Amino acid sequence: MAAYERGHYLGAFKHWKLASEAGEAEAAYRIGMLYAKGEGIDRSVPDAAIWYERAARRGNVEAQFHLGLIFLRGEKPLLGPHRHETWRQSSAVRLGDRASNIHQLVFPHGTSVERNVDAAFHWISVAAERGKAEAQTVLGNMYSEGLGCEKNLQIAFAWYGVAAEQNCAAAEFALGDIYFQGKGVPIDFEQAAAWYRKAAEQDHVRAQVALAFMNLKGTGMPENLAEAARLFQSAAMHDDVIALYNIGLLRLNGHGVAKDIDRAETALRKAARRDYFPAIQALAEFYSHGAGFAPDLREAAVWYEKAAERDDVQAQFFMGRFYATGTGVGPNIRQAARWFERAARNGHATAAFNIAVFYLNGSGVERNVESAIEWFERASEGGIRAAQLQLGRLYSAGNGIPRDHKRAEEWLSRAAVGGDPDAKTAYALFLLHLDGSTEQLERVCALLMEAAEAGHAPAAFQLGALYMGKFGGSADVEAAVGWFARAASAGYVDAQYTLALLHLEPKNGLSDAKAAASWLTKAAHAGHAGAQFQLAVLYCTGAGLARDVEQGAQWYEAAARQGHKVAQFNLAVMLGKGQGCEPDPGKAVEWFERAAQQDMAEAQVALGDALMSGSGVAKDEGAAVQWYLRAASQNHEGAQRRLDAVGVTTVDG
């Protein structure tokens, strides 16, 4: 013992071995402890079990107890099953037939101990009968669970009581559990709290946590958040993950303890790093929303991803959204698709809708309309009306699948019945294309009215088109303008543009250049190419607003960049002449070419002229002739005259 206390473990081993050989049980037990702890010798539980058994058979109660625990738990191979097998294989390759002798030499008693509840019950019973409180508690556990014996709660209770009389904290905790859960006795929260308290006062961590929860929830006692926080903090000092998590939450919210964001974060992080799932979830929320500080979305993404890997469906959905939007992580559409699909498979309806859209568009996954339909249907079952609408549109348009008007109507009507204004509008337009009967128009009108009255601007716009006679019937311009105005006022750009065109038309009695200019300005700023073009015309002509050729050129360019070919042509003309802008023949040629590529004959002729003269571009008569020919094929007289002038005869000529 003196050698052991000095840390001279090998010396202690030699003396204990001599004493054991002389029949001393304590010495055999001590050698078992050296093997169990790996002190001075390689750790080997099988060897520890051999020495414990020698001591146990000689009556050493500690050895009996520890031997029982080894058989109760079992012991895996020392290096782990895979590492040990790798060592065996590598040594066999190196040593051949001699390897088995080496294995026997290094591990004379093997590398593992098989679990044996019968042997465990025997030795723990022996130690318990000898009065060891810890053994009595474990024996109570075995009777409680029916391990190595018939399950008997009464006998378990008795053994716990005997151990508790010796102030064994584990037994006191067990008695608290019995009364709390009503295992073989009536539920008695007061008795449970009393036993938990006895164990907690001895620093029993699980008892502290259990008693903390009773104080937190007011179970069997008045609610006492301060006492709950004290107990959780005490257990957290032992790094108990449940205690760390709960004291973290209490400090985060200032419940029963002073609010302390830093200490709350530290506690939650400790629990999360030990893979405690609720703490992982809490940290993700903590960083996502912030708590007295700006959210840290990078850190939130780290913890949400850990939760997602643990199959937390909401975290999987969030990770899909994070990767789709580049929130807290680099944008990655493939990863977004992966997480949305995992969440969808776990029943998340919105994720099912999102992955359906991904499959429909081929975003992050290979385009697969059948898979899109499957996920839209799953999303629909989860109450996502937009999924029903998408299904209706897919079957109506035949987008990647055969058209099926019957199924289209089924899905669109289901979506419309759900009250979604967008669905009602889509269903109304679908019905319009089935037939144009008066009865059908009335039904369509009713659907659009319901959607429009709910503030849906596209429905109001379609009502305007309906009253203009677009779908048959007589036109009611006044009513149409009213609906267009409602949609336009709600910011619907197509309505703003349409209303502007109505105000520009002198024949319908609504001519109002100022009103037209006002609506065109709104639509143009919203990016409508047609509105930008018309606004440019008004600025250049001074109709409805002060003439401003420079503004006109700018709006022509805005429309031109969106592919409006007439705007491209007009901009090219202005650049060539320096109207509203600095002259730039080179840029003028570029815009003429863009319009010409869209088969605008006037632009083709203008481009041909530039190439023929070398204005703003290198002279190229051959290329010029080709553009004249393309314009002439559209019966452009000027192109034909130019071809005649250079002696080129067309096929028709």
Residue-wise pLDDT for 219-230, tens only, equals 999 999 999 999
Helices of type H across 274-312 = 277-289, 297-309
Q: Helix (H, G, I), strand (E, B), or coil: what is residue 609?
A: helix
Whole-number pLDDT of residue 112: 85
Q: Which amino acid is at 653?
A: G
Q: How far is CA 513 from the centre of its chain?
A: 51
Find out whether 623 and 630 touch, Cβ atoms under 8 Å: no
pLDDT class for 123, splitting at 50, 70, 90?
Answer: very high
Please report how many Cα atoms fall inside a 13 Å half-sphere around the Cα of residue 186, on the Cβ side. Answer: 2
> How far is 394 from 411, CA to CA, in rounded Å?
10
Q: What per-residue string of b and e applies to 12-48 under the rule 16 or more CB within 10 Å gives b?
A: bbebbeebbeeebbbbbbbbbbbbbeeebeeebbbbb
DSSP secondary structure string, 480-505?
HHHHHHHHHHTT-HHHHHHHHHHHH-
Whole-number pLDDT of residue 94: 58
Q: What per-residue string of b and e applies to 109-142 under the rule 16 or more CB within 10 Å gives b?
A: bbbbbeebbebbbbbbbbbbeeebbbbbbbbbbb
Quick one: three-class SS letters along 53-101?
Answer: HHHHHCCCHHHHHHHHHHHHHCECCCCCHHHHHHHHHHHHHHHHHHHHH
> How far is 619 from 130, CA to CA, in rounded Å?
113
| pLDDT digit string, tens, across residues 464-488 | 999 988 877 778 888 999 999 999 9
Quick one: three-class SS letters along 110-159?
Answer: CCCECCCHHHHHHHHHHHHHCCCHHHHHHHHHHHHHCCCCCCCHHHHHHH
CA distances 182 to 164, 185, 210, 419, 574, Å, are: 18, 5, 15, 51, 92
568: left (phi over 0), alpha (psi -120 to 50) or beta: alpha
* Sign of the alpha-carbon dihedral angle for 337, 343, 347, 348: negative
Other beta carbons within 10 angstroms of residue 6's beta carbon come to 10
Bridge partner residues of 75 (DSSP): 113
pLDDT at 427 over 50: yes
Find out whether 160 and 146 touch, Cβ atoms under 8 Å: no
Whole-number pLDDT of residue 518: 94
Write phi, then psi, for 506 (nearest 5 degrees). -75, -20
pLDDT at 95 over 70: no
Q: Give the contacts of 43 (CB within 8 A, at least 6 positions apart).
A: 35, 36, 37, 78
CA distances 594 to 70, 451, 571, 634, Å, are: 84, 41, 11, 17
pLDDT class for 59, splitting at 50, 70, 90?
Answer: very high
Q: Which of 366, 313, 316 is nearest to 338 (CA)?
A: 316
pLDDT at 437 over 80: no
Whole-number pLDDT of residue 506: 79
Q: Helix (H, G, I), strand (E, B), or coil: what is residue 182?
A: coil
> How far is 361 from 347, CA to CA, in rounded Å?
22
Least confident of 164-178, 289-303, 583-597, 632-646: 289-303
Whole-number pLDDT of residue 287: 93
Write phi, then psi, for 270 (nearest 5 degrees). -60, -45
More confident residue, 543 or 312: 312
Whole-number pLDDT of residue 106: 47
The mean pLDDT of 382-386, rounded to a whole number, is 91
The mean pLDDT of 622-648, rounded to a whole number, is 93
Least confident of 99-103, 434-438, 562-566, 568-572: 99-103
Q: Which of 369, 455, 444, 452 is nearest to 413 (CA)?
A: 444
pLDDT at 101 over 80: no
Least confident of 37-46, 100-109, 441-450, 537-546: 100-109
Q: Which of 383, 385, 380, 317 is nearest to 346 (CA)?
A: 317
Whole-number pLDDT of residue 81: 45
Q: Which of 497, 503, 530, 501 is nearest to 515 (CA)?
A: 503
Other beta carbons within 10 angstroms of residue 619's beta carbon come to 12
pLDDT above 70 covers a percentage of the chain that reads 94
Whole-number pLDDT of residue 290: 79
Q: How far is CA 171 from the centre of its chain?
A: 45
Q: Which of 540, 497, 541, 532 is nearest to 515 (CA)?
A: 497
Write phi, then psi, for 155 (nearest 5 degrees). -65, -40
Q: Helix (H, G, I), strand (E, B), or coil: what is residue 109?
A: coil
pLDDT above 90 covers a percentage of the chain that reads 83
User: What mean pLDDT is reported for the chain?
Assistant: 91
The mean pLDDT of 296-300, rounded to a whole number, is 93
DSSP secondary structure string, 498-533?
HHHHHHH-GGGT---HHHHHHHHHHHHHTT-HHHHH
pLDDT at 102 over 80: no
Find out whether 544 and 514 touch, Cβ atoms under 8 Å: yes
pTM over 0.75: no
The mean pLDDT of 505-513, rounded to a whole number, is 81
| pLDDT digit string, tens, across residues 77-93 | 644 444 445 545 555 55
Whole-number pLDDT of residue 245: 97
The mean pLDDT of 499-528, rounded to a whole number, is 90
Whole-number pLDDT of residue 543: 86
Q: Which amino acid is at 433?
A: H
What token pair was written down for 78? 């020392």
Q: Helix (H, G, I), strand (E, B), or coil: what is residue 624?
A: helix
